[in-house]
Structure 1
Amino acid sequence: MDETGLKSLLQHLPVSWWEADRELRVIDSGGGAFEDLRTAQRFLDTVFRKRSPAPAARTGKSQWQAHFDGRIFDVNWPLGPSRQDRTRGMAVEVGSDAAVAPRRYDAFADLAPAAAFIRNANGRYLWANHAYAHLYGTTPEQVIGKYVREVDAPADAAQVLALDQDVLARGKPVRHTLTYHRADGTSGHAAGHRFPVREGAETCVAGIYVDISDYTRALHQRREAEESLCALRDHSGLPCALISAGGTIRQASAAAAEMLGTRLSDLVGRRAHTLLAPDPELPALERNWRALIARRNRRIQTSAVLVDDHGRQRRARLHLTTVGRGPSRAASVWAVVTHQSLVHEAPAPLTATQVRILSLLAAGRSNGEIAASLHLSRQTVDYHLSRLRDLLSAPTRCALIARAYVLGILAPDTWPPRSVTAGHPGSAT
């Protein structure tokens, strides 16, 4: 086989050959042991930094064993006499360095963010990494060699040793979450696995844990916030409901169920639009809802006519506030009723002129003043008032005004009087 054929053969074998000058600069190399010339040069630098630059000249030997990147090579150099101040050599991989891999693993595990340890059956620490020692506010050097009772509080130590014995008895990994106490007396939480390992001639216990103290604390705070919100919702006496972006009631207060004449269990899961009675202002409410969900508005005050399970109606003042923001829209909306009219049978719808007449009547205007303000004849105003008394079942002017307020036609907290559906304070309707 000529030299070209030999080089081609070596390309598929765990072998490295090189040709170097006097300064051991690789001029040419090949074989399947290394991927490129740079790695071959690094191999040569590593090998000859650990040995004499001319091992054959000083020791009379041209073969020795070298360790490189966790691999073991039989090195033969030089191969034959020098040619033009160049020498050739060859290294054949014969195995892996069993001592290097554990050192690499230890270095990796020592700096890993997960807390890790190894203890013998008596609870003595054989090894611990920085993350594990950090749980106790100390260093690995202060942990290794000590017993569990010297590191943990008595109650914690008993729990730790019991878990160790459980792992040794089972002979297989166990996953669990545990509570530990730091040197300053504060507690923390960790989750992970504990498993048996062989250390020399004895079976020991190893563990890898992730500190979940911050997660547990955040979960506890969230639970407390939810409980506080539920208590506020249930004991405020306000009818309120959490409505999803799709319009489904997710949560509701007992006051809301009572107002709508239904059970709380029947109200949750119901579609919110089924609680709305037909009303001229319904399209405006739908536009407001879309603006909330699209996050164009954070909160809105509006009104709506609600219908209960018995078909009775009442007008309610609603405060709508978005919660739980997604990437492009709100997740849900809290709806709170702050004012509500008396429940009543659905009246005939009133015209804008009739609502305006009620507003002026509530402001103390006479029939003549109402006629002049609305550019109507006196007879037309008298007709509308008679019609309103029939529609609202009110025999007198005072009763008519009172009915307009309790039925939610007029806003109870504004002056001069105006409709609850008025777009702005200066408008009566």
Structure 2
Amino acid sequence: MEAARQEAVLWRNRALTLFDRVAVPVAVCDVHGVVVLANPAMAAECGTTPGRLRGRDVLELFTPQESTQVDRIAQALRLRHRSRYQVSVRWRPPGGPERYGELMADPVSDTVEDTPALLVMLRVLGEREPLAEEPARVAPMEARILALLAGGATTAQAARKTGLTADGVTYHLRRLSARWGAANRTELVARAYALGVLTPGVWPPTPAAGE
């Protein structure tokens, strides 16, 4: 029995050493998303040390782009589904521009009946472009899509009215979101008004003169 215990401790120490040396940001969380263990790469993205991440909610450290993604994952975990789950997130490392990427969570446990922990890996996709100090100019098609969105159009409706495909509309929206650091379409429309791309006080929404 003592030999088995020592063997288990040895393998645990080896696993922790490997965990710390992995270059990819990784954390182990409980089923509620509270950090139990984090490696130095994950701590570096948050500007702290692994020990200080313990007990933090991973979704406070990394802001989800869409809350519906988190709701679907929570429901799947309650039903004990064991797939890999992905959440698009954004965060701001200390002293740097805002970043965006994906959190990938894999449920892990000794048996199917056990409440799983979550092995969470962070995939960094890029950095947000800083907002321009002057009102941003956009292409006429981008301004038209923004006006349609502000009026309540769906992606399919915007595609029909602009002659683009749904993928074409999504492409323009992703470029604008990355350029302005917008987390969702509501924020994208708000930025369009704030930057003077859409004319305030007009209905239906209309691109500003010159856009």
State the TM-score bracket (shorter-chain normalisation): 0.5 to 0.7
> In 2 relative to 1, CA 253–293 (structure 1 residues): closer, same or farther, beyond 3 Å?
farther
Q: Distance in 1 between matches of 2:34 and 2:173?
A: 43
- Equivalent residues of 2:73, 2:85 under 8 A apart: no
Q: Indicate yes or no: 2:84 matched with 1:300.
A: yes
Relative to structure 1, the CA distance from residue 296 to residue 391 in structure 2 (aligned partners, 3 Å threshold; closer, same or farther) is closer
**Cα gap change, 1:305 to 1:390, in 2 (>3 Å):** closer
**Is the radius of gyration larger for structure 1 or structure 2?**
1
1:229 Cα deviation from its structure 2 partner: 1.6
Q: Which amino acid aligns with 1:315?
A: Y
Residue by residue over 1:354-377, the C-alpha shift from the partner in whole angstroms, topping out at 9 and shown as x without a partner, is 7xx9xxxxxxxxxxxxxxx93343
Report the Cα offset of residue 238 of structure 1.
Answer: 1.1
Q: Distance in 2 between matches of 1:386 and 1:216?
A: 61
Note closer, same or farther for the CA distance 1:219–1:263 as it changes in structure 2 (3 Å cut).
Answer: same
C-alpha separation in 2, matches of 1:291 and 1:325: 19
Match of 2:179 in 1: 392
Percent of counterpart pairs with the same letter? Answer: 19
Change (3 A) 1:388 1:291: closer
The CA distance in 2 between the partners of 1:231 and 1:386, in whole Å, is: 43
Q: Any residues of structure 2 matched to 1:205-220 within 5 Å, and which?
A: 215-220=1-6
Q: 1:336 to 1:376 in 2, by over 3 A?
A: same
Q: Return the structure number with greater helix share.
A: 2
Deviations 1:105-130 (A, max 9, x none): xxxxxxxxxxxxxxxxxxxxxxxxxx
TM-score computed with the length of structure 1 as normaliser: 0.30
**For the Cα contact (< 8 Å) 1:278–1:305, is it kept in 2?**
yes
- Give unpaired runs (5+ residues) of structure 1: 1-214, 348-352, 358-372, 394-429
Which ranges of structure 2 fall in alignment gaps of 5 or more residues? 132-140, 146-157, 181-211
Cross-structure match for 2:101: 316
Q: Counterpart in 2 of 1:87?
A: none
Residue identity in the other structure for 1:304: S
Partner residue of 2:125 out of 331, 337, 341: 341
Name the structure, 1 or 2, with higher relative contact order (CA <8 Å, separation 6+).
Answer: 2
Contact 1:293 1:331 in 2 (8 A): no
Q: Is the 8 A contact 2:63 2:90 kept in 1?
A: yes
1:257 aligns with 43
Aligned length: 152
Matched, 1:279 2:73: no
**Correspondence for 1:239:** 25
Q: Distance in 2 between matches of 1:386 and 1:257?
A: 31
Q: Is the 8 A contact 1:294 1:328 kept in 2?
A: no
Matches within 5 A, 1:87-236: 215-236=1-22
String of CA shifts for 1:402-425, please: whole Å, max 9, x gaps.
xxxxxxxxxxxxxxxxxxxxxxxx
Question: Superposition RMSD on alpha carbons, in Å?
Answer: 4.0
Would you tell me which structure has more strand in proportion to its own residues?
Answer: 1
C-alpha distance in 2, partners of 1:330/1:224? Answer: 25
Q: What is the identity, as a one-letter code, of the residue corresponding to 2:120? A: A
- Once residues 103 and 6 of structure 2 are traced to their aligned partners in structure 1, the CA distance between those partners, rounded to angstroms, is 32
CA displacement at 1:308 relative to structure 2: 3.8
Q: Is the 8 A contact 1:294 1:329 kept in 2?
A: no
Q: For residues 295-314 of structure 1, what are the alpha-carbon distances to aligned partners after superposition, in whole Å with 9 as ceiling and x for unaligned?
A: 222x3141321424649543
Report the Cα distance in structure 1 between the residues aligned to 2:127 and 2:7, rounded to whole angstroms. 40
CA displacement at 1:334 relative to structure 2: 0.9
Counterpart for residue 159 of structure 2: 374
Letter paired with 1:296? H
1:227-280 CA distances to partner (integer Å, 9 max, x unpaired)? Answer: 222122111201000101232101000000112222222212212221232522
Cα pair 2:104 2:121 within 8 Å, conserved? yes
SS in structure 2 of the partner of residue 255 of structure 1:
helix
**TM-score of the superposed pair, with normalisation by structure 2:** 0.56
For residue 242 of structure 1, give the secondary structure of its aligned residue in structure 2: strand
